[in-house]
Structure formats: structure tokens, C-alpha cells
Amino acid sequence: MTHRVLILPGDHIGPEIVAEAVKVFHCLGSEFGLSVELEYANLGGCAVDAEGSPLPASTRDLAAQADAILLGAVGGPEWDSLPREQRPERGLLGIRAELGLFANLRPAILFPELAAASSLRTEVVSGLDILIVRELTGGIYFGQPRGIRERPDGVREGFNTLVYGADEIERIGRAAFEAAERRGGALCSVDKANVLESSELWREVMTGLQADYPSVSLDHLYVDNAAMQLVRAPRQFDVMVTGNLFGDILSDCAAMLTGSIGMLPSASLDDRHRGLYEPVHGSAPDIAGQARANPLATILSVAMMLRHSLGESDLAGRVETAVGQVLADGLRTADLAGPTERAVSTSEMGDAVVSALKSQAG
């Protein structure tokens, strides 16, 4: 069966890192018999420039037909002054909402070879393996009403709405409990139930789900405490589940514990496991065009795609092994290299992963 994969290179370093992931697809095809058809479309700033919208109808159509989507990264300062509807981020939020990609899986795994790159002491982070499950299509990102208006006294005010339905909480809760069943069996739900009613309901629904997952232990933390615990003793966590805004913040924090945000993949899934896969890092305009970007988060996003959407767990494991291999061989892109280490370019790193994969084929 041929898998249809839509590639959205995006902006700045997006096309550079995606090109390396495409090499990996080609290698999986020639060496391991993976059958994929790759299609390309615009999303983000490049789509604004080429087609006048951050999420053009042509991209929407291809996305709806694809089995899975690989995204590089979107955004950059040149589009920041456009009206909100035209900004690159709108393309990303639009595709998440339109495809119903409510379950965002963000693993934060420390590769042993990179322990020294973390800003925390090695003994605090070694062996770190956290999965953050972030609700992605609800909460304050999408709640209505929202806007900027004028008060009766003439002063302007900005307002947003934090709203979660019990159905939205339940489906992200189930995704997180199921992930915890497959992993270490410990789920921590993060909320602000001491202040927010939406969190009060969140906690109630999460607690109610526990009876269906007897092998999983459930804890609750307030988000401020969770942020502190993440930098104090991050290894206490297995799976964390939280809403859209808290998940945005905590996942960046967890990512940095691993030393390089350039290493972390993510998956955004709908209820049928169709998904959009992207590196956690952004479009890095400051290093675009310099062949310095780390393609490993994008390549690891391909591994997540193989596992979660394409039913190719064996190949997913091979890609992850190949990434571990190049790190063990000492290859480092600029973000990972220590002051005395030579940094390899984006394409040297991609090529090294491809040769490590080929050597597995024997």
C-alpha cells in the first residue's frame, strides 16, 4: 500500500531541514521497501507570498487527502506586521483546527550523548524521558469571544476566552491515559484548578476517567508547580497532560531540559491517528540559509509518523536507531557542538543518518 505524505516545508530553515527528512523517505523506499508518494504544498509565510493566504485552499485540499503531513516550520519577522489573519501562525492554527488535530504529543527525551548540552546538571536530567500530551484545538487559543475593543471609558482592552467542554477534556484525557498505558504507567494532569473554573472541570473529568485505566496512576499538579518541578526534578514525570496554553509553555520548558530544542519531534493527531508531524523548534530566521540547522528533530518526526500514522513501527525504530548512531559517532550540528567540536552542516547530518540507515540494511 502506498502512503500519501504531504510535505509542507514552510519558512526559513523549514525547507532546509525538510530536505534531509525527504532523503530519509527515499532511503526507506530504496532499502526497506517503504512505498510513499510525496506531495508538496505551501503553508505559512511562503504561502502568503505565493498564494496570498497562510493556509491556501490548495494546501487544505491536499492536507485533507493525505495519510500524514510533514511540516518544517512557519513564521518570520517579515510577516509579523501583517494583519493577524495573514500571519504565518494562522496557517498552522488553521490546519490544526481544520483537520481536528486535537492530540499533540511532544516527547522530551535526553540522548545520553547530549547530556552535557543541557543547562541542568547531568545527574538531574540523565535518563529523562517525558511525554507531554497537549490539547491542541481548544482552550484559550480558539475560545470565543475574543478581540480588542474599546471600553465605555474609551480605554482599549484585549480579551480572550478559556473554555473547555467535558467532551474535549475526555478525548485528550483518553489519548493521554492510553499513552501512559504504553509507557511507564504514570500520568500527571496539569491545570490551574485553584483559580479557573475550566480547570476545575478538567480535573473532575480526568479523575473520572481513571477507573477505565486501572494500570495508570493519576496525579494532578497546578501549572506553576508543574513548571517548577520540571526544572527541579524532571525525571519524576512520565506522561503529562494539559490544555493548549499550558502545554505550549511547558513543552518548551521540557524541550530545553534535553539540551537542544533541535532534537525534538512532535505529532498532532486526530481521532483516527491521521496526523501532522513537525519539529518542536521554530523557523529560526537567524540561521536560515547558512546550512547550520539541525535536521534531526524533523527526521525524528518522520519516525513518529511511521509509528503513529503509517503503521510502520519497525521502520520508525530503524530511523531512531540511525539517529542514535550518528550521535554516538560524534556528529554534531552547530546547536549541539561544544566549543572545541567541529560542527557538521545540515546536509552532512542528513547524509550521515541515511548512511546509518543503509548500514542497517546490510
Determine which one of 11, 141, 277, 335 is catalytic. 141
C-alpha cell at 313: 513501527
Active site residue 252: yes
Site for ligand IPM in 339-358 (CB under 6 A): none
Query: Smaller CB distance to Mg ion: residue 29 or 77?
Result: 77
Q: Which residues are CB-contacts of 151 (< 8 A; sequence separation ≥ 6)?
A: 157
The per-residue b/e assignment along 93-118, b for 16 or more CB within 10 angstroms, e otherwise, is bbbbbebbbbbbbbbbbbbebbbebb
Site for ligand IPM in 239-298 (CB under 6 A): 248
Query: Smaller CB distance to Mg ion: residue 56 or 76?
Result: 76
Asked if 89 is part of the footprint of ligand IPM (rule: CB under 6 A), the reply reads yes
- Judging by beta carbons within 10 Å of its beta carbon (0-12, 13-18, 19+), is residue 57 exposed, middle or buried? exposed
Query: Smaller CB distance to ligand IPM: residue 82 or 124?
Result: 82
Active site residue 358: no
Determine which one of 23, 222, 252, 270 is catalytic. 252
Q: Hey, what amino acid is at 297?
A: A
Q: Which does 31 bind (CB under 5 to 8 A by kind): ligand IPM, Mg ion, none?
A: none
Query: Smaller CB distance to ligand IPM: residue 89 or 129?
Result: 89
Report which secondary-structure segment, H or E, holds 218.
strand 217-222
Q: Which residues are CB-contacts of 246 (< 8 A; sequence separation ≥ 6)?
A: 134, 190, 191, 192, 223, 226
The DSSP symbol for 112 reads: G
Asked if 248 is part of the footprint of Mg ion (rule: CB under 5 A), the reply reads yes
Active site residue 270: no
Q: How far is the CB of 94 from ligand IPM (least distance, A)?
A: 10
Which residue of 5, 7, 24, 92 would you call a contact of ligand IPM, by CB under 6 A? 92
- Judging by beta carbons within 10 Å of its beta carbon (0-12, 13-18, 19+), is residue 60 exposed, middle or buried? middle
Q: Which does 89 bind (CB under 5 to 8 A by kind): ligand IPM, Mg ion, none?
A: ligand IPM
The DSSP symbol for 202 reads: H
Determine which one of 11, 67, 238, 248 is catalytic. 248
Determine which one of 49, 212, 219, 224 is catalytic. 224
The footprint of Mg ion (CB under 5 A) covers 248
The footprint of ligand IPM (CB under 6 A) covers 89, 92-93, 248
